[in-house]
Chains A and B, each alone.
Chain A
Amino acid sequence: MKTKRYGIQGFAAGLAALLIAGTVVADVDQATAAGDLAEVSALAVEAKANLAAAALGGDVDAITEAGKRSDAVDAAVASAQEAYSAMERAIAGGDQDAASTASDDLKAAVQAARDAFNGVVPESIAKSAHDQWKESQTNTGGGPGRAGDAPNIYDVPWQSQGLRSFYQGLFGSFWSSSAFGGSRGFGERDATPE
C-alpha cells in the first residue's frame, strides 16, 4: 500500500514537472505563478478568519487592526490576480518582456500580501496611489493597458486613478484599430469641410 502511494505520488510529481516545463516561457514560470496566486488567496482567507476571531473577541482595537490587515491582503490579492491575468495574456501573445514584467508584479503582490498579513499595512492613499502609478508604468506605453499600446496622450491628470486607467484602456482599443494612428481624441475628426 505504501509503495503504491509513493508510486502515485511519483507519477503526480512527474506530471507536475512536465506541466511546469511546458508552461515556462523564458524567465516566466506559470506553475510557480499559479502557486503564488494560491498562496495569496490562502492568506486572504486566513486574514478573514483572524478578523472573524477578533470580532468574536470583542476587542475594538483588535478588530480594527485585523480589518486593516484583511483589507490590505485583499488589495494584494486583487493586484496578484491582475498580474497573473496580464502574465497569461502576455504568454499567449508571445510577449516575453510583458510576461516577465507581470511575473515581477505578481511577486511584488505576493510580498505585499505577506507583509499585510504580518501587519505591514500601507500608510496612506497617496503612497498607495503613487505605488500603483509606478507599477502601472511597467508596460510599453507607460500606462495601464496592453503591452505595446501607446500612452493615452489625452490623459487628464486631475481625474481619479480609476478613470485614467479606464481611458487608457479605451484609448488602446481606438489606437489599435484606427486607420490613422489613432492619436486623436475619441470622435475627433480631421480638419474637415465645415
Chain B
Amino acid sequence: MMNKTGFMLVALASVSVATFGARERVVRFQNHVRVGYDDNVYQTDDDKQDTMFITDIVNLSAKINISSRTDALLYWQPEFRYRFDADPELVSYQDLYARLNHAVSQRAFVTLSDRFRYQDKDGQSDLGATPNQNYLENELMGAVDYTLSSLSLVKVGAGYELRRWDEEAYGGGDTMTGGNNDYDQITADASYIRDLKANTTQGILGANYVTHAYNGDRGGFDSVAGYLGVDQNFNPNVTGNARVGYSFSDVDTGSDNTDSTSPYLQAGLDFNPTSRTTLNGSVGYSVYRAENSIYNAQDRFNLALGARQDITAKISLAGSMSYTHSMYDADYTRDSYTGVIEDANDDYIVLSLRASYQVNRNNFLEAGYEYSVRMTDTDLLGEYNRNVFDIGWRLRL
C-alpha cells in the first residue's frame, strides 16, 4: 500500500513540475457531488444489499504547450464514495492519465501515454473470488506516425498493460485454488493509411498483435489480426469508420494450446443532425481477456451507443448504452480448473441517463439513473441486476 501511495505522490509531483514549467498551460477543474441510492451494492443475485450513498468525483486536467512542437495532457480523476449500509463504507478509485505529443520533424510525430488506475474496494465480492477486490492497473502506450508522401503515412505503436490484485491468493497464489489473476499484456500494431479522397476518405491496412499472460502457470493467449479499414467523412455532420479483418489466436490453458480463428470487427458512426444533438455508436468483435478465474480468453462482441441533446441553452440530456456478449469456449478453460468444464455465455448491459441543468456559468444541477444487468447461461458465473439513482451538483471552473 505504501508503494502505491508513493507512486501516486511521485506521479502528482511530476504533473506539478511539468505543469508549472510549461510555456503555456490551461488547467481546468470540475467537481461532482452526488447523493443517491444503490439497490444492489454488492452486485449479487440473492440477498441484495441496498444503500444510500454520497460520492465526490473530481476532474483535474491540464493542457500544457511545452514548445511549439510538444504538448502534453495531464488528467487526474479521484472518486470517493461513502455507502451508508455497506462494508466498507468508504471506497475510492484513482485514475491518472498523461499524454505527450511531439513533432520530431515534418514527417515524424510521436505520442506517448500512460493510464494508471487504483481501485480501492474491499468487501466487493462473495462469489468465487475473495472479498478483497483492490487492484492496480497501468497501461503504457506509444506510437510513431511517419509520413511517406502527401497522401500516405504509416503508424506503428505498442503498449504494455498490467494488473495487480492486492489479494495474493487471488492475483498470484496457486492456480489450483483459483488464483493467478494478475496479468501482463503486450500489444503491437502497425498500419498504412492513405488518403483516397482528401479530407473525405482514408483507407487503412493494418495488423495487430496481442499477447496476454496470466500470472504463474495459468497461461493466456496470443492473437494476430490483419484488417482493412476506412475512415469516411460523409458530410460535416456524419462521420464513420470501419475495420474488418480476421484474427488467429492461440489460447494457452496451462499445458495445452487451442488454436482458433475469428472475425475482427470494429465500426462506428457519429451523427450530429443539429448543433444541439450528438449521436454515436460502435460495434466490435475480437478475442479478449477473460474476466473471471475459470477461462483464459473470450470471444467478445460489444455494442456501445451514446446520445446527447441540448433541450434548451440550460438543460441537456445524455444517455449511453453498452452491451457486451462474452463467449467462453470450453477449450479456453485453464487446465487446473477442477469444476465442470463447459461453454459459457455472459451478457452484460449498462444503460445510463443523466439530465443536467445549468444554473449559472459554473454551477449545474444533475439527476442520473443507471441500470446494469448481467446474465449467464451457466452456474459457473454470477448473475445480478442493479439500479442506481442519484441527484447531484457539478461545479465547473
Chain A interface (Cβ within 8 Å of chain B)? 71, 74-75, 78, 81-82, 85, 88-89, 92-94, 96, 123-127, 129-130, 133-134, 137, 140-143, 146, 148, 150-151, 153-160, 162-163, 165-167, 169-170, 172-174, 176-181, 183, 186-187, 189-194
Contacts and interface: CB of A to CB of B under 8 A. Distances in A.
Given A126-B109, A179-B352, A192-B43, A173 B278 contact: yes
5 contacts: A78-B233, A92-B310, A125-B152, A126-B109, A193-B124
A176 B308 contact: yes
B384 interface: yes
A6 to B, nearest CB: 37
B95 A177 contact: no
A124 B147 CA distance: 7
Contacts of B32: 181
Contacts of B77: 150, 181, 183
B313 A166 contact: no
Interface residues of B, number: 121
B313 A94 contact: yes
B48 interface: no
B151 interface: yes
A193 B382 contact: yes
Contact of B153 (A126, A153, A177): A126
B275 A88 contact: yes
Contacts of B127: 193-194
A85 B128 CA distance: 51
Contacts of A141: 28, 61, 75
Given A89-B275, A162-B239, A191-B121, A126 B354 contact: no
B126 interface: yes
A142 B61 contact: yes
Question: Chain B interface mostly helix, strand, loop or mixed?
Answer: strand
Given A124-B150, A187-B304, A166 B280 contact: yes
B23 interface: no
A153 to B, nearest CB: 4
B270 A177 contact: no
B374 A192 contact: yes
B155 A183 contact: no
7 cross-chain pairs, A with B, having the tightest CB-CB distances, nearest first: A173-B306, A158-B157, A162-B231, A194-B128, A193-B127, A191-B133, A126-B147
Contact of A187 (B30, B191, B319, B324): B324
Contacts, number: 264
Contacts of A169: 270, 278, 280, 306
B236 interface: yes
Interface stretch (B9-17, B245-253, B289-297): B289-297
Considering residues A78, A124, A146, which has the most beta carbons from chain B within 10 angstroms of its beta carbon?
A: A124
Contacts of B117: 183
Interface of B: 28, 30, 32, 34, 36, 42-44, 57, 59, 61, 63, 71, 73, 75, 77, 79, 93, 95, 97, 99, 101, 103, 105-109, 111-113, 115, 117, 119, 121, 124-129, 133, 135, 141-143, 145-147, 150-153, 155-159, 189-191, 193, 195, 198-199, 202, 204, 229, 231, 233, 236, 239, 241, 268, 270, 272, 275-276, 278, 280-282, 291-294, 302, 304, 306-308, 310, 313-314, 316, 318-320, 322-324, 348, 350, 352-354, 356, 358, 361, 368-370, 372, 374, 380-382, 384, 388, 390, 396
A179 B36 contact: yes
A148 B30 contact: yes
A141 B388 CA distance: 26
B291 A189 contact: yes
A175 to B, nearest CB: 9
A178 B143 contact: no
B199 A74 contact: yes
Contacts of B278: 146, 169, 173
Contacts of A81: 236
Considering residues A89, A142, A143, A148, which has the most beta carbons from chain B within 10 angstroms of its beta carbon?
A: A142
Contacts of A133: 101, 109
B202 A126 contact: no
A126 B275 CA distance: 30
